[in-house]
Amino acid sequence: MKDNSGSILLALVTGAVVGAGFGILYAPNKGVETRHKIKDKAKDAKQDLKNQISHAKDELTQMANNRIEVFEQKLEDTISNMSYKADDIIVSLEHKLEDLKKKNAQLHK
């Protein structure tokens, strides 16, 4: 199942910012005070967004590193298995070559 916590958190923060903006706009304050409050809220929202982006980046980096480790382990296992299979094939071919040499020696007698 897909993790939607980042999307939900972003939606909640966006809703809070929009709600705070409407609350400030409809509050009975002077225009200068309202603009100052909007500016402060925008700075707070910007910082919150930076924090969320940083957190998401850290999570994605960690997830990517985990996936890389899993991939490298699977690749190593696959190469190891292929090496064993190649050894088995070489041994089998050597046995067949010995059999062919014996048959060839019998034909030349």
C-alpha–C-alpha distance, residues 97 and 38, integer Å: 85
* Assigned token pair, 9: 């958190």
Q: What is the pTM of this model?
A: 0.47
Q: What is the residue-level pLDDT of the chain in tens, covering all 109 positions?
A: 456 776 777 787 788 778 777 776 676 767 777 778 778 888 888 898 888 889 989 999 999 999 999 999 999 999 888 888 888 889 999 999 999 988 888 888 7
Give me the pLDDT at residue 3, please.
66
Nearest Cα residue to 42 out of 16, 66, 3: 16
Give me the pLDDT at residue 88, please.
87
